[in-house]
Chain A
Amino acid sequence: GENVEQHPSTLSVQEGDSAVIKCTYSDSASNYFPWYKQELGKGPQLIIDIRSNVGEKKDQRIAVTLNKTAKHFSLHITETQPEDSAVYFCAVKLVFGAGTILRVKS
């Protein structure tokens, strides 16, 4: 089955800085890569996704990049704000990464 690894497990940044979270996967046939944000007391919410026919996708301050050859994809958050503090998960097929706790210090 699919194996998904996510790094780092925790990330602290100063408000306004950038944050990058990386996810690696094992099945080269995988072709859809979503990122989720989970706030306290809520379920995960999709924030951005990418398909294997593109290398990068942006949505305002959030972007996802994909390297199919190396089998990894990354979430990039620019100009971080306190409300970006949450747990972020990558997923491949129905397998989720272990999560990254992002803390944005103001």
Chain B
Amino acid sequence: LAKTTQPISMDSYEGQEVNITCSHNNIATNDYITWYQQFPSQGPRFIIQGYKTKVTNEVASLFIPADRKSSTLSLPRVSLSDTAVYYCLVVPDTGRRALTFGSGTRLQVQP
């Protein structure tokens, strides 16, 4: 499984755009990049998944360069309720069915 590296913590202010970058140098051809969000005392929640280029949904955007060795989760105009831990995961398209969580990035949004 590809190992992921992301910043331990980030601080932001309400209304700003937040970009969290994850590196996954040994990503395999059939791996997807997936991000989960976890609030205190709750289970993780799926945010977004992509394979290459850009993916956007109602919550976030995911940017993946051509070499796929890194990815950036972009949260537009964060609010206090976006304070959470964000996990970047590399997930095989087939085969292993479970998730291996890295250390995650703790995002603190200030008023």
Q: Do A and B come from one complex?
A: no
Q: Chain B residues in contact with chain A, CB under 8 A?
A: none
